[in-house]
Amino acid sequence: MKRFTAKEVQEKLENGEQLNIIDVREVDEVKEGKIPDAIHIPLGLVEFKMNELDKKKQYVMVCRSGARSGRAATYLEGQGFDVINMDGGMMSYEGKTN
């Protein structure tokens, strides 16, 4: 599985890179703030929502600590998606949130 640190994701966003970010945390966690433009798909719904994703795009998976997003990344990778897990999750992310 490919990985980015939270700092790498933050730097890429601050440098204007367009990242396709999927936040797999639960609704109450996302209310505390998420990376702007991140798509919210709770982990339990990834299997059912993956048909809305484009296999030609690369996705960065995010959760609170990196564990759930790692599971989502492993699953989506097995389904033919190009995914990267953000290690450390939102607990390590110091960039802009909304």
The candidate with the shortest Cα–Cα distance to 34, out of 46, 20, 22, 43, is 22
Backbone angles phi, psi at 5, to 5 degrees: -80, 160
Q: What are the backbone dihedrals phi and psi of residue 82, each rounded to the nearest 5 degrees, phi first?
A: -95, 105
Has 63 been annotated as catalytic?
A: yes
Cβ contact 77:94 at 8 Å: no
- Residue in 6, 19, 21, 63 annotated catalytic: 63
Q: Nearest CA to 1 among 81, 87, 77?
A: 77
State the Cα–Cα distance between residues 67 and 85, nearest whole angstrom.
9
* Residues with a known catalytic role: 63
